[in-house]
Structure 1
């Protein structure tokens, strides 16, 4: 079943700061549609992923997704 997820849904779940990066928001929407996830479900998966992921360096802020980290999350969702 297709899930209807908008950019606004993603911003609501991840916070207004994510709206500063349209490419990340668009990728979040694409992942939701591809795997039939709600924005809330994706945010929960991101939170679990961010807790378990190893930081790349001391500046790696896992509070918000990046395109690179979303690629890793996507692979994780594929395995689930």
Structure 2
């Protein structure tokens, strides 16, 4: 009895197809995860900026002068601090 690739041995065709399908699913998952992380990072920076603006705005003019800024400088100062992170 003769054996050929159609009647005996491991079926590598289905395994390769399954592996390709799994690879595509993993790539899709990673792509979604990367987009989610980018949005989460953006949201976190927005929250940090809002908290910083709030904190600086709640300081007295004397306290602001002690750190070297005026009330009108708060948005620019907060941007500078965020850029240094």
What TM-score, normalized by structure 2, do the two folds share? 0.27
Q: Which has the higher contact order (CA 8 A, sep 6+)?
A: 1
Q: TM-score, normalised by structure 1?
A: 0.28
Higher-Rg member (1/2): 2
